[in-house]
Every structure is written in structure tokens, then in C-alpha cells.
Amino acid sequence: MAFYGVHCRVAVFLSVLCFVFADDPMVEIASGKLVGKSETFWHPDVNINRTIHIYEGIPYAEPPVGDLRFRPPQSKVGWDGVYRATNFGSACIQAIDPLEEMSGTLSEDCLFLNVYVPVTHNTDRLPVMVWIHGGVFIMGSGNAFFKGTPLAAIGDVIAVSFNYRLGPLGFLSTGDEHAPGNYGLLDQMAAVQWVHDNIEAFGGDKDMVTLFGNSAGSLSCEYMLLSPLMQGLFHRVIMQSGNVFVKGYFSTDSRMQRKTAHGLGKLVGCERETTEELIQCLRAVQAEDFKDFMDIIATKDKLENIVGQTLPNIAFPPVVDGYFFTENPSRVAETMAFTKSGLDLMFGNMADEGMFFVAYGMPDMWEEPKLTMNKTVYESLMSSLLPGARMKTDQAVKDAIKLMYISWDDADLEDLNYADTLSQQLGDFYFICPADASARAYAKAGFNVYRYHMTHVPSKSTWPFKWMKAAHAEDLQFVFGWHFVDGMNWTMTKEEVEMTLKVMKYWTNFAKTGNPNLPRDDATFSEEEARHDWPLFKVPGLEYREIALTMSNRRALKAKECSFWNNFIPKLMKNTDPAMKCFADEDGSGKYAESANIEQ
Ligand SMILES: *[C@@H]1O[C@H](CO)[C@@H](O)[C@H](O)[C@H]1NC(C)=O
Ligand SMILES: *[C@@H]1O[C@H](CO)[C@@H](O)[C@H](O)[C@H]1NC(C)=O
Ligand SMILES: *[C@@H]1O[C@H](CO)[C@@H](O)[C@H](O)[C@H]1NC(C)=O
């Protein structure tokens, strides 16, 4: 176990000037020595008193600055002496957002990771859980919100989180060799490779690595699964609200990517003829200047004006770069043309995922205690919030969606509230039905698949609005046990404390065994909950666990809605415009997998 548990006894003054106290934990990894800090995990609501060794701000690659901007991450050059890993490293450059406050400074030099190790007298190597944060590939970090102390203490796992490049700095592509794109995904890959290469020094088991992530991080987890480069580096995957069949967040259109890159050049004073000159110029732009192009809506609007066509939902999405992806990953998932068989997978969603898009569509509602939406607003947002020019305008598609989602029983009421109608429509389209397509594809291909649906509306929301319900990302507070994080000041109700413990047990047990279920006599669960195990998701069968204050089993989540989005709508669009091979080709994000065994 290398230097794990070995404490420095002397003060050392070295290149990274530091003073090492006798109690500070230290490890030696390939690049050099690291000193971390010790924290005691103890909380009145849980009978656990454990020491956690914390290493924050470990550099896992060279700073991607200067000539390394828009290039794959380079291996970290080793250091002499002891590196002080006791504070979060900078988060990657992003637009000012609430995360900044908690995540510390922003910098282009941001490729850092954090490791949380429960101290144990057991000599067995510990399972490892590697978190990929979300944030639409334009914001977020592995810091602060994802402190792994509770997971490590309660679940007896090593928790790892990290930052990766975002926005144009992470994903700008010229569609050619001068800037192929996907640097943010390559950062993720480098972090997972770092875990594989170094986690034994912390007492971790490199043959028991689980990737887990939320939203764009969940999508990234599935990208790791589908990339030909990621062989043997991880063994289990938990995908929380984000799947490869989502539309609007991937591009196969290198001409459009090139036009977008030139468009950005125009905005920052880099109007150039060739992509080579463009990239050379963009490498000299101050990193902070890219901040202005890291918001979801304004950047896309500006660039759409310059490019003169509808862009994907984010202006700089992951792409087919010929390296991380040699083809569209949704096609790879559809045909299961990849070699990582035998992995254990978990998929899940929130009951009100679509509120996330409603919040973006109705910024004037952010301060309101209650969300109300009349029919006029609904009719405008129901199509404008869909991706691609065709979906936004096709009348037959609009009519079909209305038929599917409007509460016809009450549609004659003048003041009918359409907020939920829109939220359910968008939640199904962007999250639940892509997860359904993925879960079905992997289950049919013989993977162990567990599926969940979280319906509990938390007493304290992650969002600054009052009306989000069981919204996108509300699972994070339960998975990371925010109630137990010092300094976070996040209090849950007594029932929610029980729920977060159950969720953490499910997640960490899945990381250990590939099965979230605990032994029947585990006191975390009620007798009734323990009697009914969380069943495997199979086709047919379609069973899943409803995650709420009380856990229960259900089946066929949104089966009709998902057949609508995954089968009917593509066919409808093909029929109304036979020239269109498939609607999904429009923005290059591929055709949905079949969602049911029914061939019409
Ligand atoms: C936790 O354990 C440590 C060491 O065994 C002990 O000193 C400390 O008092 C305990 N804390 C609580 C709150 O039980
Ligand atoms: C619908 O709501 C919007 C925004 O609140 C408002 O501007 C509009 O007048 C309303 N339309 C009708 C027909 O009530
Ligand atoms: C913790 O949260 C409570 C309620 O939200 C608030 O009143 C209190 O000021 C907060 N404390 C700190 C230290 O932030």
C-alpha cells in the first residue's frame, strides 16, 4: 500500500514550499509526494466516527495553457519534494455563476482532482468511485458540492472528483486537425487514467472503479463507455440524468463546427482565413475573455447570427474528432458496436427533469413562488425549446406533441396551468426517453442494468426557485450526503436523512458488487423495503426502483411517451418530409434506438 498511512515526522522545505505536520497524511504517486489533510467524520444523525484523509487540488495533467490550449491534456511532469494537496485547485474558466463562490478561483490552469480516503484497518483495497460533474459542458467543477467525505465515511469507498475544460476552451472544434475538439472529454479520460495509474497508492482497487456523473457528467460517463479509447479503466457506471440518445448536445457536422469557430474568432478579434491561423490567434487570446462565451443562451444566439443557421443547444458540443470518437456515439450505442461487455450499469432520472428547461425558458419566473404558464406561452416554448430547425417549426410534430401531453380532460378551462405539461414534455424528450433507449439497448445486449426514478421533492432545493419540484440535479444532495458536509449548512428532514443514507448505501454497494441491494438484514432499510429487492431492468419487464422517502418497485416508466419520442416522432418526420433521411440527422446527433420491440 505504498506510502498510505505513513506520516511525515519532519518539517520539509522544498520546491513547493510546505510545512508538513506530523498528523498530515502523505502518499507517493508516480509524479511525486503528496501531503493531504485529515478530517473526522462524525455527525449526530449517523453513528459513524471515522477519519478521512483528504487530498484536494492534485494536478492530474500539465496546465492546458499557452500552446497547450485546444490540445489533448499532457501528462503531469513529476515534482521534487512534497506537493501540498490541501485545498481545491482552481475551477475551469466559466461564466460567473453561483458555483464560483463555493469552488474558489477560476483559471485556465484547472486540471485538478480530489481524493477522499476513509482510514481503515482492513488491508483490502477499497472500491473507487470517480465523479464526473455536470453543467452542460460550460460550467461546474469537481469542487465543493462534491466533497467525497460522507460517501467515503458512510460507504467505505474512495471518492474522486475532478475538473475538466469547459465551453470553447474545452470543446471548440475547427472540424480538422488544427483543433479537433473534445479536449474536455480527453481531460476526463486523463483523470480516469490517473485513477487507474495512481489509486493503489491511496489504498484503492484499480480493478473496481465506478464512474458516476450527473447531467453532462452522466452523458460523459456514457461517452466513456462508448469510446474505443477507454478499455479496462473502469468497471461500473452510474448515469444520473444524461444519456447518449439526447438530441442537441453533440455534433457530427464539421462544416458547422468550423463556421462556429470562425464566428467565435470574429467576436474576439481573430478573423482569419484558415483554421490554422484562427487557432494560432485564439491561442493568444486572454483566457478570461472566453468567459463571455460560456453562457447557454446568449453565446448561441450571437453565433447563430454570424453562422446563419441553427446550432446545437450548446455552441461548442462534443464532436466526432476521429480520436475519442471515430463515429457518432449514439450510433455506436444503437448497434452495440463496442467491446466493453460485462459492465454493470445504473441509469436514473428525476420525476421533474423538464423544470430545468422551463426555468431557462421563463427567466422572469425565477423569483415567483409558483409557476404558472398559460396556453400561449406553452405553445411558444414547447417547440422553441426543442433542438434543431426542423423540430422547432414542423406543425405535424407540434400537433402530435400537444395530443400526447396536454391534459385534454381540462383543456377547456381558460386558466389551465400548462407548466407541468411543458416540464413533462421536455423532461421526457431530453432525459427520460434517452435513458429509456439506453437502458433498453444495454439490457438487450446482456449488460446488468438497474434503473431508478427519483420522485421525492426535497425540502431544500438546489435551485434558487420555489417551484422546481423533483427537478434535475436534486439527486446530488442525496448521493453526496450534503446534510453531513461540514460548512455546507444543508439540513434535511429526519426522513430525508434516512433517504440520503439509503441512496448512499445503494450507490456505494453498487460500486462494490455491481448490485445496489444490501443484505436483507441491513438496518438502513425498512422490512418492507428490504423484502423487495431492487430488480434488474430487463426487456420485457422494464422494472425500476422508485427512489423516495420509501423505496418501492415499479415498471414501464413512461413507456408510451418514450415510444412516442423514440419511434413515432422520427417516423412522422420522415413521412412529412421523405427527403429527410431521419430528423435526428439534422443536427447530426443520430437516430434514436428503437424503444420497443414493436416494428410498425
Ligand atoms: C471519535 O473518535 C475519536 C477517536 O477514537 C474520539 O477521540 C472522539 O471523541 C470521537 N468523537 C465522537 C463525537 O464520538
Ligand atoms: C400569457 O402569459 C403571458 C406571460 O405571463 C402574458 O404576457 C400573456 O398576456 C398571457 N396570455 C393570455 C392569453 O392570457
Ligand atoms: C444556515 O442556513 C440557515 C437556514 O437556511 C441560515 O439561517 C443560517 O444563517 C445559515 N448559516 C450559515 C453559517 O450559513
pLDDT, tens digit (0-9, with 9 covering 90-100), for 248-274: 999 999 999 999 999 999 999 999 999
With DSSP H G I counted as helix, E B as strand and the rest as coil, what are the percentages for the chain, rounded to 5? 35, 15, 45
Residue 318 lies in a domain: no
287 shares its domain with 385: no
**Chain centroid to CA 420:** 24
Is 336 domain-assigned? no
Q: Check whether 3 has a pLDDT greater than 90.
A: no
What pLDDT is stored for residue 14 in this prediction? Answer: 33
Q: Are residues 559 and 590 in the same domain?
A: yes
Give the Cα separation of 184 and 171 in Å (integer): 6
User: Does residue 190 sit in the same domain as residue 258?
Assistant: no
Over range 108-126, report the average pLDDT: 95
- Distance, in Å, from the CA atom of 459 to the CA atom of 150, rounded to the nearest integer, reads 20
User: Is there a contact between 155 and 536 (Cβ–Cβ < 8 Å)?
Assistant: no
Q: CA dihedral in degrees (433, 434, 439, 441; nearest 10)?
A: 110
Shared domain check, 509 and 384:
yes
Domain of 428, in residue numbers: 341-597
Output the CA torsion sign for 68, 72, 76, 77. Answer: negative
Spatial distance between the Cα atoms of 504 and 139, rounded to a whole number of angstroms? 25
* Strand ordering across the sheet containing 236-240: 37-43, 46-59, 112-118, 158-162, 126-132, 204-214, 236-240, 344-350, 448-454, 543-547, 552-555
Banded pLDDT at 527 (limits 50, 70, 90): confident
The pLDDT of residue 271 is 97
Residue 316 in any domain: the answer is no
Region 467-474: what's the mean pLDDT?
96
Residue 321 lies in a domain: no
User: Residue 584 above 70 pLDDT?
Assistant: no
Percent of the chain with pLDDT over 70: 91
In single-letter form, the type of residue at position 300 comes to K
Q: What pLDDT score was predicted for residue 97?
A: 57
Q: Which of 103, 215, 254, 438 is catalytic?
A: 215
Task: Specify the pLDDT at position 188.
Answer: 98
Q: Provide CB contacts within 8 A for 353, sequence distance 6+.
A: 241, 423, 426, 427, 430, 431, 432, 471, 472
Ligand 1 atom having least distance to the Cα of 49? 1
In a domain, 159, yes or no: yes
In whole angstroms, give the CA distance from residue 485 to residue 54. Answer: 13
Count Cβ atoms below 10 Å from residue 284 Cβ, excluding itself.
11
Between β-strands 158-162 and 126-132, what pairing exists: parallel, antiparallel or unpaired? parallel
Taking alpha carbons only, the member of 215, 229, 244, 210 closest to residue 440 is 244
State the average pLDDT for the chain.
90
Q: Mark whether 33 and 87 lie in a shared domain.
A: yes
- For the question of residue 215 being annotated catalytic, the response is yes
In a domain, 319, yes or no: no
Q: Give the pLDDT confidence of 136-146 residue by residue, as tens digits.
A: 999 999 998 99
**SS in 3 state form for 394-446?**
CHHHHHHHHHHHCCHHHCCCCCCCCHHHHHHHHHHHHHHHHHHHHHHHHHHCC
From 472, 483, 563, 589, the catalytic residue: 472
236 and 276 inside one domain: no
Give yes or no for residue 372 CB within 6 A of ligand 2.
no
Backbone angles phi, psi at 350, to 5 degrees: -100, 155
**Is the pLDDT assigned to residue 599 strictly greater than 50?**
no
Q: In a 3-state reduction of DSSP, which class is residue 144?
A: helix
The more confidently predicted of residues 424 and 598 is 424
> In the chain, how many domains are there?
3
Give the closest ligand to the alpha carbon of residue 102: 3
Active-site residue, from 108, 353, 529, 586: 353
196 belongs to the catalytic site:
no
Q: Is 453 a catalytic residue?
A: no
Question: Cβ(134)–Cβ(213) under 8 Å?
Answer: yes
At 195-243, the pLDDT tens digits run 999 999 999 999 999 999 999 999 999 999 999 898 889 999 999 999 9
Ligand 1 neighbours by CB, cut-off 6 Å = 42, 49
Is the residue at 172 inside a domain?
Answer: yes
pLDDT reported for residue 575: 82
Asked, for residue 333, whether it belongs to a domain, the answer is no
Answer yes or no: are the C-beta atoms of 16 and 84 closer than 8 Å. Answer: yes
- For the record, the C-alpha cell of 108 comes out as 485556465
Segment of 11-15, 483-487, 588-592 carrying the highest mean pLDDT? 483-487
Does 352 lie in the same domain as 402?
Answer: yes
Find the range with the poorest average confidence among 72-76, 140-144, 244-248, 527-531.
527-531
Tracing cell 474558489 back to the chain, one arrives at: 104
* One domain for residues 279 and 395: no
**Residue 549 predicted with pLDDT over 90:** yes
Domain CATH code at residue 10: 3.40.50.1820
Measured distance CA(571)–CA(580) in Å, rounded: 11
Q: Which amino acid is at 496?
A: E
* CA 38 / ligand 1 centre spacing (Å): 14
Does residue 57 surpass a pLDDT of 70? yes
Q: How many CB atoms lie within 10 A of CB 372?
A: 13
Residue 588 confidence (pLDDT) above 60: no
Q: 376 and 264 in one domain?
A: no
Pair (390, 532) in one structural domain: yes
Q: What is the pLDDT of residue 98?
A: 52
Q: Are residues 39 and 168 in the same domain?
A: yes
Whether 448 has a pLDDT exceeding 80, the answer reads yes
One domain, residues 167 and 46: yes
What pLDDT was estimated at residue 21? Answer: 53
Closest CA to 111 of 93, 84, 136: 93
- pLDDT tens digits for range 282-314: 999 999 999 989 988 889 999 999 999 999 999
- Between the CA of 196 and the centroid of ligand 2 the distance, in Å, is 55
Using the predicted structure, report yes or no on whether residue 2 has a pLDDT greater than 50.
no
**Residue-wise DSSP of 270-303:** ---SSHHHHHHHHTTS-GGGGGGG-SSHHHHHHH
